[in-house]
Homo-oligomer: A and B are copies of this chain.
């Protein structure tokens, strides 16, 4: 039943060799890996305007120079990442680059930042997508949080079905969005040129705005830098590309950066020209859509495409997070469980962890995109800085042809990212402080896990390879726990006799009524006269303690005789899972306690209920 359900939800299992077939063409990769970056135009301009409008509507003209700087940043970071793709075709992105060039700690800072950041990618994209929906359908505005959570769960289910299948499914919304935004920007500019759009800008470019400061400018710029999030996704996923992997990946990155730049610039200009300011009820993009298309079908298609690409953007996190977790687990910094591949070759544990983390973030920040953005941005630009600066070290070590040019491109990227980190840190501290609590915790966790795995490996290693001497025991003692005399008892005793040379049945009685107390003992002796039976009285109504004390004594005696000790715990296997709460509570507790004993093996005798 469960496996049937799983088959429906997740699809049929794939053989290991089918993995090659999962490789991505440029067309598919653009959909799957660029959606995060492209979709950030849905909130990038809005974040800039939100900061500026706090001063006054007049200050909004500054969004134009800020957008220009963001575009310059995009160019610098794009060039840097092209170089990373060529230098590290095995993927792993910031984590791999930073740990190779700066050492383990820097790599872990990058890796830890990104782990949290992929959760934020999912949370930000989904909440922003939800806002696109509620802008179009205002009556849903009070249900933002549940809508966002449902979307996360839906994307998780898709990802548990596997990467390629998701990709073919997801190309449509991405290209739909590209068409809609291209149409909107083109039509918007057409309206401006033909004079059909009315000039509503609050002030002309260059107007002096009282109260405008450099700090405010940088605050707006650092908020606007959220448009650059997601640019790294392609460089992390190079191994997923079809061959020639590097060339295809680099080409995809360039196409993506071009589209992103045009969209971001177009939207910012249209917002300025139309005098649009952020509102709590409607996103900036939705307002532009209304001003360009009116309230017709095209507007609703725009909102739909925005919501859809943001859902796909959330998917970027789902393809990147499990891979990063796999790399960290391979280096023993995260639990081995992240290395298990699920039936569909996705990394199920990573996918589920990511969805859970994103849902927690959505709940904490009440599904508000603007509250999530600064934390998201710092989590992106810290690894940006580390990987870009790591590349400088890389070029300096290699000193290949043109290393000076290459490293200066990366220097520009690293420098700009670092400045943005500082801006976010000083100008948005109220929103980014959790980063400085979460990161040390994650780093400590990484080291603790590594330390533990290393200690275990040391302990487990065979002392002298090739010279293991097996120990020969002389026999085995089996203790059968008996709660009452039923068919289960017979089965358990039969089995115990097949494996044991010495079988004891044990019962704990604690009824205060002496007559009832020995009922089980009398019944047992009547049914199985030739099985040794021990009845233990418990004054404290506890079954666990007397059982453990008895088993310890028996185990000690057995060890003296060179016998092993097995405790056989009978347990019911009901036909329906809910029935488990009606049984086995005591067996569960007993097994948990007995597992702590070094010389005792705990065995479960399952009795299947009809």
| Residues of chain A having any CB pair with chain B under 8 Å | 13-17, 19, 335-337, 340-341, 343, 345, 449, 452-453, 455-456, 459-463, 465-466, 468, 470-473, 475-476, 478, 485-488, 490, 493-495, 497-500, 510, 512, 526-528, 531, 539-542, 563-564, 566, 572-574, 579, 581-583, 585-586, 595-596, 598, 601-606, 608-610
Contact = CB atoms under 8 A, between A and B. Distances in A.
Given A13-B541, A449-B582, 18 more contacts: A16-B510, A17-B512, A19-B512, A336-B582, A336-B583, A345-B541, A459-B609, A462-B486, A466-B526, A470-B490, A475-B498, A476-B498, A476-B499, A495-B564, A499-B500, A566-B603, A595-B604, A595-B606
A556 to B, nearest CB: 16
A468 B340 contact: no
A455 B340 CA distance: 40
Nearest to A460: B486
Given A453-B582, A603-B602, A527 B462 contact: yes
Contact of A601 (B531, B564, B595, B603): B603
Contacts of A449: 582
Contacts of A475: 498
Given A462-B527, A471-B494, A601 B608 contact: no
Given A470-B490, A604-B602, A541 B16 contact: yes
B461 A487 contact: yes
A497 B473 contact: yes
Contacts of A603: 566, 601-604
Nearest to A593: B3
B542 A498 contact: no
Nearest to A526: B466
Contacts of A583: 336, 456
B609 A456 contact: yes
A574 B486 CA distance: 36
Contact of A459 (B459, B510, B610): B610
A449 B470 CA distance: 50
